[in-house]
Amino acid sequence: MPFVELDTNLSADCLPVGLEKKLCAAATAILNKPEEHVNMTVRSGLAMTVNGSAEPCVQLLVSSIGVVGAAEENRGHSSCFFQFLTKELALDQDRIVIHFYPLEPWQIGKKGTVMTFL
């Protein structure tokens, strides 16, 4: 059950129409998870900096059970997410930062319990 959160200082009207759906589809392919399991959030117009600059930027948080724990895995994921974000948002790679967080089943609540018991 991946969680993908995109934070940006770009205003909503500067984002491509349907970015959340496109990013969800990309995350589905990149992380090899069904779309109905991907949770997506896009937050725009934030006061933020990357590398000390407030020029247009993005921070992407990707957390999931079992697919973001190893350096080699994340290296591949990072490459694919960077390709998507640079194309869709017309940003240079140095304006994008990605955080990968592995999750354990007991850290995600669903259906009145946690994933461990589902």
Q: How much is the mean pLDDT over the chain?
A: 97
Q: Looking at residue 79, what is its pLDDT?
A: 98
Alpha helix (H) residue ranges in 1-118: 19-31, 71-89
Tell me the pTM.
0.95
Q: Looking at residue 21, what is its pLDDT?
A: 97
**Of 96, 115, 113, the residue nearest 39 (C-alpha):** 115
Look up the CATH number of the domain holding residue 110: 3.30.429.10
Confidence of residue 4 (pLDDT cuts 50, 70, 90): very high
Domain count, the chain: 1
Q: What is the pLDDT of residues 51-66, one digit of tens each?
A: 999 999 999 999 999 9
Domain residues for 71?
3-117
